[in-house]
Amino acid sequence: MSGWDFTASSATRQLPQQIAKLLAAAQAAGQAAGGTSRLKVWSLEKLTLYRYRPLLQAAPLPSRPLLVCFALVNRPTVLDLQPDRSLVRVLLESRRDVYLIEWGDPDAADRVLALDDYVERYLGGCVRHLLRAHRVEAVDLLGVCQGGTLALCYAALHPQQIAQLITLTTPVDFQTGEDMLSKWVRGVDIEPLTRAGNVPGALLNRLFLALRPFSQGPLRYLKWLEQPPQPAALAQFARLQRWIYDNPDQPATAFRQFVQWMYQENRLVRGTLELAGQRVQLARIVQPLLNLYALRDHIVPPEASIALAQHISSQDYLAHGIDAGHIGLYASQRSFTELARLVGSWLQEHRR
C-alpha cells in the first residue's frame, strides 16, 4: 500500500494541526495493516493471488481451499487490520488453506475491462488455479461487499466449482428503501463520467464519506482531542483511516456496467443479468451459505443483503445481522468478536 495519501485530501487538510500530529505519530508507532505472512502463488495481468502461511498453532487439515474475494473499490487490508482484528487469522484458525485476491491498480489500458473479465477471467482464473493446484473439484468462496456480489455471480454461473459460500455485507437487491447510495446514483448518467477514462478512487471515496458527512467527517477525530490518546487505540484508528482513504481507480467499463446493471436496473434480483453470454440465475446456488450483514450499515443496508434468501435454492442457509456499521464490523472489538465467532463456528460445522 502507498503512503498516507489521505493526509493530502481536502477533508484532512482542514483537520486541526494537533490531530494531524496524532495521526503522524500513530503511523510512526503503529504496525502496518496486512501483517499476516503470505506468498504470491499466481497472477494474471494486474491481479495477484496470495496464499497465507499457516499459523504455527493451526496447521491446515485436509480440506478444500478457501478463496477470499474482496470489493474492487477498496483494498482487502481491512481483513487483516491487526492480529486481534484479523478475519484472515480467523480463517487460518479454522485450519484451512486460505487464499486472497488482490485486484491491483488499473491503468489507462484497463478502461475496457468489463464485469465479464472480473467474474470469468480473474475470479474464475483464481478458482481454476486452485482446482488444479489442490486437485479438488470445488473450492469454498468468501465474498466481501462488492466482492460478495461477484462471488454470487460466479457461483451461479459455475455451481459445480463452488462447494460453500460465505458473504459479508454483500449487496444483492440494489434498490431497497433504505439504500441512500442507490437513490443517489439511480438517476446519474454514468456514461459521461466514464467516457474520459477510469474513475478516480478519490472521487468514489468522497461519495462514500458524503453518505454520512458528520460521523464520517471531522466528528470522528474529536475524541482524540477530548481525552489523552491511548497509543494502541490510536494506532488502530490510524490504520483504519489509511485503509478508508486508499481507494484504487475503477476501470471505466466495469464501473459503468456495475452501476447501470446493479444500482440502476437491479438486474441481479430481476434475473436479467448476463455475463459472458450466460444468464446469472441465483436460483442455481444450492451450496451451504452463510450470509452476514451489518445492522447499521449505511453503504449496504441490511435489507440489501437479507434479500438473498428469496432468490437462492440452498437448503443450508444461515443469515445473521451484527450490530455494527459497514466498517465497524472489522474495527469494533465487540462486533469483530461476534463476526469471528460466527464465521469460525460455521466453518467448523461445515468442514468436509
Active site positions, annotated: 145
Residue located via cell numbers 477471467: 121
Q: What span, in angstroms and rounded, lies between the C-alpha atoms of 202 and 9?
A: 9
Beta strands at 66-69 and 47-52: parallel, antiparallel or unpaired: unpaired
CA-CA-CA-CA torsion for 115, 121, 127, 131, nearest 10 degrees? Answer: 160
Return the biggest CA–CA distance within the chain: 58
Q: How many CB atoms lie within 10 A of CB 23?
A: 24
First CA to last CA distance, the chain: 36
Cα gap 350→166, rounded to integer Å: 11
Which of 126, 112, 120, 152 lies closest to 276 in space, CA to CA? 120
Cα–Cα distance, 63 to 32 (Å, whole number): 31
Strands (E), 15-151: 38-44, 47-52, 66-69, 98-102, 139-144
C-alpha cell at 215: 460521523
**Torsion-angle region of 172 (φ positive above 0: left; ψ -120 to 50: alpha; else: beta):** alpha
What's phi and psi for 98, nearest 5 deg? -115, 130
Query: Using the 8-state DSSP alphabet, how is residue 265 labeled?
Result: T
